């Protein structure tokens, strides 16, 4: 997702971002079925778990356009809010695809199935490290995660993974 193309009047255009991500998730899910797999094990794994990795580009361009210094608290805040929106819309789109096309076959018993979303794993990490003081992360939210949880509980997920950090 080219994030800078989703700015409008100094903010993220959520309607446009949601539409873009909905189309992108459908396209990424399609790739799993039409891809050539040189290794049977890779094919079987992808068809079973249906992982995709939606990412973003243009983050620094957004900061420039919004006149936010790169090494600032405002930049971190923008990163948090923009990635929250991208993840939210990607997870919602995957649940929509599950309603239409079915859940990925290893969904039963997964974290998604148990109502544990990726941000909830911070609590699991804190427990494993011996307390929340060892995981200093902003956990505030602006999206309606309760509605998304209900949507996933009803329809499941089409994809075991939805977002990724680009290796470049």
Ranges under pLDDT 50 in the chain: none
pLDDT at 124: 87
Using H for helix, E for strand and C for coil, what is the string for 16-43? HHHHHHHHHHHHHHHHHHHCCCCCHHHH
pLDDT in tens, 76-106: 999 999 999 999 999 999 999 999 999 999 9
Give φ, ψ of 54 to 5 degrees: -70, 130
β-pair partners for 54: 163
pLDDT at 123: 86
Quote the CA–CA distance of 29 and 99 in Å, as a whole number.
14
pLDDT at 168: 60
Longest dimension (CA), the chain: 49
Taking the model in full, what pTM does it have?
A: 0.94
The secondary structure of the chain as a DSSP string is -BGGGGEETTEE-HHHHHHHHHHHHHHHHHHHHH---SSHHHHHHHHHH----B--B-HHHHHHHHT--TTSHHHHHHHHHHHHHHHHHHHHHHHHHHHHH---TT-TTSTTTTT--GGGHHHHHHHHHTSGGG--------S-HHHHHHHHHHH--S-S--B-----
């Amino acid at each position: 997702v080219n994030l800078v193309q989703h700015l409008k009047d100094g903010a993220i255009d959520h309607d446009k971002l949601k539409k873009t991500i909905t189309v992108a998730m459908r396209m990424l899910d399609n790739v799993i079925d039409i891809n050539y797999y040189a290794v049977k094990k890779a094919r079987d794994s992808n068809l079973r778990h249906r992982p995709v990795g939606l990412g973003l580009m243009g983050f620094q361009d957004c900061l420039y356009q919004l006149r936010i210094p790169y090494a600032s608290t405002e930049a971190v805040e923008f990163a948090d809010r923009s990635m929250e929106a991208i993840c939210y819309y990607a997870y919602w789109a995957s649940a929509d695809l599950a309603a239409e096309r079915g859940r990925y076959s290893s969904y039963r018993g997964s974290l998604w199935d148990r109502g544990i979303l990726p941000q909830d794993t911070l609590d699991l990490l804190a427990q494993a490290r011996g307390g929340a003081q060892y995981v200093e992360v902003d956990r505030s939210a602006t999206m309606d995660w309760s509605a998304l949880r209900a949507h996933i509980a009803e329809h499941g997920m089409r994809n075991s993974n939805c977002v990724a950090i680009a290796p470049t």
